[in-house]
Amino acid sequence: MTKKYIPNDFDILCAGFPCQAFSIAGYQKGFADTRGTLFFDLEQIIEKHRPKVVFLENVKNLVSHDKGNTFKIILETLEQKLGYKVFHKVLNTMTHANVPQNRERIFIVAFDPIQVLRWSDFKFPSKIKLTKSIHDILEKGKQDDIFYYPKTHQYYTELEKTMTSKDTVYQWRRVYVRENKSNVCPTLTANMGAGGHNVPLIIDDFGIRKLTPKECFAFQGYPMKKYKLPKIANSKLYMQAGNSVTTSLIERIGNEILKVL
């Protein structure tokens, strides 16, 4: 259904895709195994429309998934089958976007050498100094009561004992609290929306609380002064924030693509 909305002419294809469907057995079948996965749909779209650039993002573990075979299939499909020139690199939001979140992702940028003669000039953005702290993102003042842990909560004593610093973001790991030693936000994940135990925690002047959905999007680089969240359940907002890309990092990579184009 979605494919019918794809325009005929476009320069850049941006996508993310799940990697679970690739397997060692499938790898032995070669490219045939990409059928039934979203990557196979991407392959079809690229083959049909031949965009100048393909820009893909995925979890860091894609590189090592199935002993590296998954990633090998993806690179072979883009390079040998589709004829694109491929660059890939693992970048961290914390080191490459000046956003205080520890988030490593693999980025794949592929150029059609027939349409992009200067493809070999492409370089991923270099590291930049992290000048922002969590306090540049955390909301000031008291937040809605729903985000705070009441003292009657079964884990409150454990939270209170462990959470002592206002300069770090903590994570509740089912039965214990983990402090993020790097003083940045831990990786935001989609399962923040599946029960509250995955939402990062902080201590402020009013108690122990979860990050708000707005703060989660801010930790993904969204310009929150200009940005309004849709009126949907917080669980869905948390899920979308965790599934998102860090917008400022995408912008930096995008600018490098534009230089080549």
Tell me if residue 199 falls in helix, strand or coil.
coil
State residue 103 phi and psi, 5-degree precision: -140, 105
C-alpha–C-alpha distance, residues 213 and 235, integer Å? 9
| CB within 8 Å of 155: residues ≥ 6 apart | 149, 172
C-alpha–C-alpha distance, residues 188 and 23, integer Å? 27
CB atoms under 10 Å from CB of 254, counted, come to 17
C-alpha–C-alpha distance, residues 179 and 239, integer Å? 22
Give 101's DSSP letter.
B
Q: Cα–Cα distances in Å, from 86 out to 153, 156, 167?
A: 51, 50, 40
Q: Is 19 a catalytic residue?
A: yes
Enumerate the active-site residues. Answer: 19
